[in-house]
Homo-oligomer: A and B are copies of this chain.
Amino acid sequence: MKTLNELSNELKKKNIRLTHQRLKILEYLYNAKTHPTVEEIYSALKKEVPSLSKTTIYNTLNYLSELNIIKSLIIDENEARFDGVTDNHGHFKCSKCGKIYDFDINMDALAADRLDNFEINEKTVYFKGICSGCLSKI
């Protein structure tokens, strides 16, 4: 649960211009932890920031992704999602409720002989299935 003040300092340190919109988007991302879509962020912030434009959300998320302050996830087609946690971890998406769960995984142990002379910059792992919550409702 990061406060707006903590977020401000983080951005200032990195020389990223501090705007109301950026702070609100980041605050939402850090605190919601739902790996939200652009649509979700938009709906959630529209009341508080009525002028907010979807373009701004796209711009902000893309910009911060490039700077590795947040991460973008693509698990399903037409559904870019964003994550405030940049430490590499795995994701599980429940096919029933759509919720996305984090899990720890040792990415260093993931290796392949065939890629010996390759430069690996990014490793992605995700699972799909049915979460325990949905299973218990059956």
Q: Interface on A for B, CB 8 Å cutoff?
A: 74-77, 80, 90, 92, 94-95, 101-105, 109-110, 112-132, 135
Minimum distance in angstroms from A110 CB to a CB of chain B: 7
Partner of A114, one of B77, B103, B114, B129: B103
A78–B113 alpha-carbon span in the complex (Å): 30
Contacts of A113 in B (CB 8 A): 103
Copies of this chain, how many?
A: 2
- Residue in A101, A105, A127, A132 whose Cβ sees the most chain B Cβ within 10 Å: A127
- Chain B minimum-CB-distance residue to A76: B74
Contacts of A128 in B (CB 8 A): 120-122, 124
A117–B118 alpha-carbon span in the complex (Å): 36
Task: Tell whether, in the assembled complex, residue B114 and residue A119 are in contact, meaning their CB atoms are under 8 Å apart.
Answer: no
Minimum distance in angstroms from A26 CB to a CB of chain B: 21
- Chain B minimum-CB-distance residue to A123: B127
